[in-house]
Amino acid sequence: MEEHYLDNAATTKPSESVIGIIEEVLRTGWGNPSSLHRKGQEAKAYLRTAARQISSILDCPEEAVFFTSCATESIGTVLKGVAQKNAREGRHILYAQGEHAATRENLKYLQEQGFELEALKLSPDGKILLSGLEEKIRPDTILVTCLHVNNETGVIQPVSQMGAIIKKRNPKCLFHVDATQSFAKYPIYPVSWQIDFLSASAHKINGPKGIGLLYKRRDQYLPPLVLGGGQMRKMRSGTENVPYIAGFGLAATEMWQIHEELMPRLMTLKQEAWQGIAQRFPDARVNGPAPEEGAAHILNVRIPLVRSEVVLHALEDEGIYISSGSACSSNKPGEKSPALSALGLSAAAMDESLRISFGRYTTKEDITALVRALSEKVPVLRRFRPR
Ligand code: PLP
């Protein structure tokens, strides 16, 4: 059966060259980068190359780049680390509703430890209001954390402007951005945008799963989560995952090289998908920003009178893969989508919402297959819906 993968916000297919470099490192560059002999130094060279590749995309010093096991680990390192080191300066933390579970769960933990959490004001389509940000920063605010691109709705937050506002109001307040859905697809420059910490994962850009990025401003100390042999300049102990780090560096370079051509192409595909759906289902609605305003690779739509999970499985039978919400958190059945809740959707409306997400290998044929399958399946499924 032909497959049409439209779940690229969950994960992406590794590119052939990424698979190639991972294999090369496993076969020949398998030394321990901490070893002083040639075999170790060969492995270390892969780490240096990857850090250089990523720092050139972020336009930051190489020494500000650290590798972790995933974005989740990077986010936890930042949130817990900032809270631990700055608790004496203040306990107030600002966040945007609709964050990924990696942020939400760490914030919940910090709240249990006595930190005060406050949500930033959002526009009706889920964008952080800059005036609201300015108002809420206090002398005891130690951290502002938000997504760059929301993994469920694709809303793009104004992170390029937030740093300056935060630092003007309180120079000691730190700023973390979860750039997991945007890194290498959209520009993000932590040094000039005054972002202190940034998190991302390789598997969203056709790299391997299980390898993450932590950008840390050079003059900002963070207590490490993982203690031991002091690898990664003492930020994260444990022998480095050299094959996947090399794969991450290459995946990021490849994505950055094509992003100026890729993202407008994905925007066209997204608009085509939405127009096809809207034509067949006049009652369908986009959740979050208008299709032309959100990120090019994420479309969240509600098709009323049919449950998204049922649609997802009906499409799966046709080899079409989409998501009924955030795949990152769909392993918690019954949990309401935080991004859609932040938009004020009812539980029933959330239940009818689908996330369709595009990537480097998405073609026009994938969109045609999706629209055709929805046109065929949804009217049938609607007839069998429980009343
Ligand atoms: N943040 C965002 C916005 C995401 O979409 C994801 C998705 O997986 C994560 C964090 C967590 O990434 P990982 O599972 O690679 O740690």
Tell me the pLDDT of the chain (387 aa) as tens digits.
Answer: 899 999 999 999 999 999 999 999 999 999 999 999 999 999 999 999 999 999 999 999 999 999 999 999 999 999 999 999 999 999 999 999 999 999 999 999 999 999 999 999 999 999 999 999 999 999 999 999 999 999 999 999 999 999 999 999 999 999 999 999 999 999 999 999 999 999 999 999 999 999 999 999 999 999 999 999 999 999 999 999 999 999 999 999 999 999 999 999 999 999 999 999 999 999 999 999 999 999 999 999 999 999 999 999 999 999 999 999 644 455 565 677 899 999 999 999 999 999 999 999 999 999 999 999 999 999 999 998 766
Q: What are the C-alpha distances in Å from 136 to residues 93, 124, 139, 240, 311?
A: 10, 19, 10, 40, 41
Q: Please list the residues that pair with 320 across neighbouring strands.
A: 4
Residue 328: active-site member: yes
| 274 token code pair | 């939405």
Helix or strand or coil: residue 95?
strand
Could you tell me what percentage of the chain is helix, strand and coil, using 3-state DSSP and rounding each to the nearest 5? 40, 15, 45
Which atom, in ligand 1's list, is nearest to the CA of 71?
Answer: 16
Ligand 1 pocket residue status of 259, Cβ below 6 Å: no
Beta strands at 197-201 and 320-321: parallel, antiparallel or unpaired? unpaired
Helix or strand or coil: residue 235?
coil
Residue 294 sits at φ, ψ, to 5 deg, of: -80, -175
First to last CA, the chain: 34
| 153 token code pair | 């709705």
Question: What is d(CA 341, CA 350) in angstroms, rounded to the nearest whole number?
Answer: 8
Query: For residue 359, how far is its CA from the centre of ligand 1 (angstroms)?
Result: 16
Query: For residue 201, how far is its CA from the centre of ligand 1 (angstroms)?
Result: 7
Ligand 1 pocket residue status of 147, Cβ below 6 Å: yes
Cβ burial 156-176 (10 Å sphere, 16+ → b, else e): bbebbebbebbbebbeebbbb
Query: For residue 99, how far is its CA from the centre of ligand 1 (angstroms)?
Result: 10
Ligand 1 pocket residue status of 188, Cβ below 6 Å: no
